[in-house]
Amino acid sequence: MFIHLDIFGFLALTIFSLLTLVYLLVVQVVLLRLLHGYRAKQKQKFIAVWEERVFNYLENNEKPELLIKKIQRRKYRYLLHYLREFLLMLKGDDFDRLSALINQTKIQPFLISRLKSGSPRKINEAAYFLGLAKSGAARNILRKKLRSQNASVFLSSALALARLNDIEVVFEIFRNAYRFKFVSKDSLLVIMSEFSSDICEVLLQNLKKEKNALIQSITITLFRHFKYYPAGEIVLKIAVYSQNKEVTIESIKYFTSIEFLKAANALRALINSPKAEIRAEVLKALAVLGDSSFEQRIWDRMYDSEYEVQYNAVTTLMILIPGSEEKISQFAYGNLKDRAAAIVRMVLSERSIKS
Amino acid sequence: MNNQKTIIFAEDTMHIAQLLKFKLEKEGFTLIHFATGEGVTEGVINFKPDLVLLDIMMPVKDGLTVLKEIKSNPSIANIPVVLLTANAHEEYVVKGLQLGAIDYILKPFASAELVLRIKNILKMR
């Protein structure tokens, strides 16, 4: 049977459908808000009861399973979320006692069963807490998850393995990251910086043969993060020959952070780089690594076409060359029509505002 | 006479603040907690605590600004200030020490060590 609709009928039907859709959306939003409010209240109630018990547990020698025994399984997640900040911000005995609440109780099999589930949400949450508590028992399952086709599962597993300091998987993390378009340098850096500084030795051996600019750049950033000195010579070779701007800039930042004076000669060449970001970074580095022999080259950069380069030239001269402030002021106020002098005046006034 | 020492502490991570309160009160200190940097200087002026424990990274007003305010007010400048900050923000520690902080504690920290350091600072004064 066909229902014949004229234009008014069609309009009425469209409006009715839209109103129904809006109604359903409103109902859904209200339900979600109610659910969220209920969960927040439950969580608050849980903390009100358990906070002092957890604090007392930290003070005495109570066995972890005795505490966990009193918590219903459905409330494990409340406890885990409550423990999160502590596991991130405490170390020593506090950390050991709190991680034992996960590693030496029924919470660990609970999390591992979630890690083995098919739900990315459950896997990510379980990986997060198992990594935070440094649960070695989850290592093999987490390693398998590095091959997941789901980017969030890959990332959460990689982060957990980094927190477990599983150095054997460092390059597997790099290799697998390439499968996902949106896994950025920053997210890889966050993961890699969770390893201990032992990672640097492995990365240094790899850097000697590594051709990939992204991995070179991440590696050098990590050397800086861990203040790892032994990589100075290798990074210097890379900085001189690399065609990649980020690799060169990261190298210069690394030299500055470890005060690698041998890099000063390389900086002499890089100060005239066609890339402004490199020139600016070189000038910043010279404040730490340079000496008076750089004075003229730095003065030349006052005439640079880029403001940041000029700014760093003024700042570095003031730090590096004693008495240069007066000379810079004379230059700035003695050449009122000169463009470079005008910018130096801006830099000087900006510096006086900042100080 | 009441010999209980008073500590003002500003820490925006609530659970950590609760734990510190629990630990330090157990050691006999009186704790006054601020969840942001706002109002801390006024609190120090009003309560004249024996020590101030300041988290550097806080909303509204950061710990270094509060420290600067405390050290520039002669009536409270001699109150020792200890900084608490994340490992990743270690560079702020130098600035804090230059501004007059007496000590610093990096997160992650061991609560027992924090309590001991606070006790030692107060013992030395």
What does the pLDDT look like over A245-274, one tens digit per residue? 999 999 999 999 999 999 999 998 899 999
**Residue A77: which residues within 8 A CB-CB, separation 6 or more?**
A125
| Helix, coil or strand: residue B7 | strand
CA atoms of B96 and B75, how far apart (whole Å): 20
Taking the Cβ of residue A89 and every Cβ of chain B, the question of whether any pair is shorter than 8 Å is answered with: yes
Interface residues of B toward A, Cβ cutoff 8 Å, are: 13, 15-16, 18-19, 22-23, 26, 107-113
CB nearest B19 (choices: A55, A93, A95): A55
Q: Which residues of A touch B19 (CB under 8 A)?
A: 55, 58, 86
* The token pair that represents A176 in the structure block: 């697998």
Q: What pLDDT sits at residue A324?
A: 83
Distance CA A37, CA A43 (A): 10
On the CB side of B75, CA atoms within 13 Å amount to 8
Instruction: Return the percentage of chain A with pLDDT > 90, whole number.
Output: 72
Please determine, for residue A1, whether its predicted confidence score (pLDDT) is greater than 60.
no
At how many degrees (to 10) do helices A276-289 and A245-258 cross? 10
How many angstroms separate the CA atoms of B101 and B33, rounded?
A: 19
Handedness of CA A350, B90, A99, A177 (dihedral sign): positive
**Three-state DSSP state, B31:** strand
Q: Which CATH class is domain A76-181?
A: mainly alpha
Rounded Cα distance, A251 and A298, in Å: 20
CB contact under 8 A, B112 and A59: no
- Chain A neighbors of B23, CB-CB under 8 A: 55
Q: Which DSSP helix (H) or strand (E) runs through A217?
A: helix A213-225
Give A95's contacts in chain B (Cβ within 8 Å): 108, 110
Listed as ranges, residues in chain B with pLDDT below 70 are 1-2, 87-90
Mean pLDDT lowest among A27-36, A40-49, B14-23: A40-49
Which of B18, B23, B108 is facing A89, going by the closest CB pair? B108
Which range of residues forms the domain containing residue B80? 6-124
Q: Which of A158-172, A301-315, A323-337 bottoms out in mean pLDDT, i.e. has the lowest?
A: A323-337
pLDDT value at residue A328: 86
**What are phi and psi for residue A112, nearest 5 degrees?**
-65, -35
Distance from CA of B55 to the nearest CA of A (A): 12
Task: State yes or no: ipTM above 0.85.
Answer: yes
DSSP A246-288: HHHHHHHHHHHHHT-GGGHHHHHHHTT-SSHHHHHHHHHHHHH
- In whole angstroms, give the CA distance from residue A198 to residue B8: 39
- pLDDT tens for A192-236 read 999 999 999 999 999 999 999 999 999 999 999 999 999 999 999
Which residue did the predictor score with more confidence, A322 or B18?
Answer: B18
- With an 8 Å Cβ cutoff, are B16 and A82 in contact? no
Note the pLDDT of residue B125: 78
Q: Among residues 104-133 of chain A, which lie with CB inside 8 Å of chain B?
A: none
Please indicate if any CB of chain B lies within 8 Å of the CB of A94.
yes
Residue of chain B whose Cα is closest to the Cα of A194: B88
Whether the CB-CB separation of B80 and B53 falls below 8 Å is answered with no
CATH of the domain at B32: 3.40.50.2300
CA distance B1 to chain A (A): 30
CB spacing of A93 vs B112 below 8 angstroms = yes
**Closest by CA position to B80, among listed B96, B95, B94:** B96
pLDDT of residue B1: 41
Phi, psi of A184 (to 5 degrees): -90, 170
Got the DSSP string for B99-110?
Answer: HT--EEEEESB-
Instruction: Determine the average pLDDT of the residues in A60-71.
Output: 91
Residue A39: predicted pLDDT: 86
- Picking from B18, B22, B109, the nearest residue to A90 by CB comes out as B109
Which of B12, B27, B109 would best serve as a mutation to test chain A binding (most A beta carbons within 10 A)? B109
Measure the CA–CA gap between A76 and A62, rounded to whole angstroms.
19
Q: Are A222 and A193 in contact (CB under 8 A)?
A: yes
Residue B18 lies in a domain: yes
Does A82 touch chain B if contact means CB atoms closer than 8 Å?
A: yes
Q: Is A55 on the interface with B (CB under 8 A)?
A: yes
Looking at every residue in chain A, the average pLDDT score rounds to 92
Answer for the pair B63, B100: CB distance below 8 angstroms, yes or no: no
Whether residue B1 is contained in a domain is answered as no
- The least confident of A49-58, A166-175, A184-193, A322-331 is A322-331
Q: Closest chain A residue to B16 measured between Cα atoms?
A: A86
Give the one of B19, B23, B110 whose C-beta lies nearest to A91's C-beta: B110
Residue A90 has its nearest CB partner, among B22, B26, B110, at B110
Q: Which of B13, B15, B109 has the CB atom closest to A91's CB atom?
A: B109
Provide the pLDDT confidence category of residue A11 given band limits of 50, 70 and 90: confident
d(CA A77, CA A36) in angstroms, rounded, equals: 15
Is pLDDT at A3 greater than 90 in this prediction?
no
Q: In this predicted structure, what is the pLDDT of residue A346?
A: 84
Q: Which helix (H) or strand (E) holds B10?
A: strand B6-10
Q: Do B112 and A86 touch (CB under 8 A)?
A: no
Give the CA angle between residues A254, A200, A94 to the nearest 5°: 105
Measure the CA–CA gap between B114 and B2, rounded to whole angstroms.
Answer: 24
Query: Which pLDDT score, from 0 to 100, does residue A264 have?
Result: 92
The Cα diameter of chain A in Å comes to 97
Q: In 3-state terms, what secondary structure has residue A344?
A: helix
Peptide bond into B108 cis (omega under 30): yes
pLDDT digits (tens, 9 = 90+) for A107-164: 999 999 999 998 999 999 999 999 999 999 999 999 999 999 999 999 999 999 999 9
Cβ of residue A93 closer than 8 Å to a chain B Cβ = yes
Kindly list the domain boundaries of chain A, sorted by start residue.
Answer: 76-181, 197-276
Give the residue on A whose Cα is nearest the Cα of B15. Answer: A85
Mean pLDDT on A175-203: 93
What pLDDT does residue A159 have?
97
Count of domains forming chain B: 1
For every residue of B51-68, DSSP letters joined together read EEEEESS-SSS-HHHHHH
Query: Which residues partner with B53 through β-bridges?
Result: B9, B82
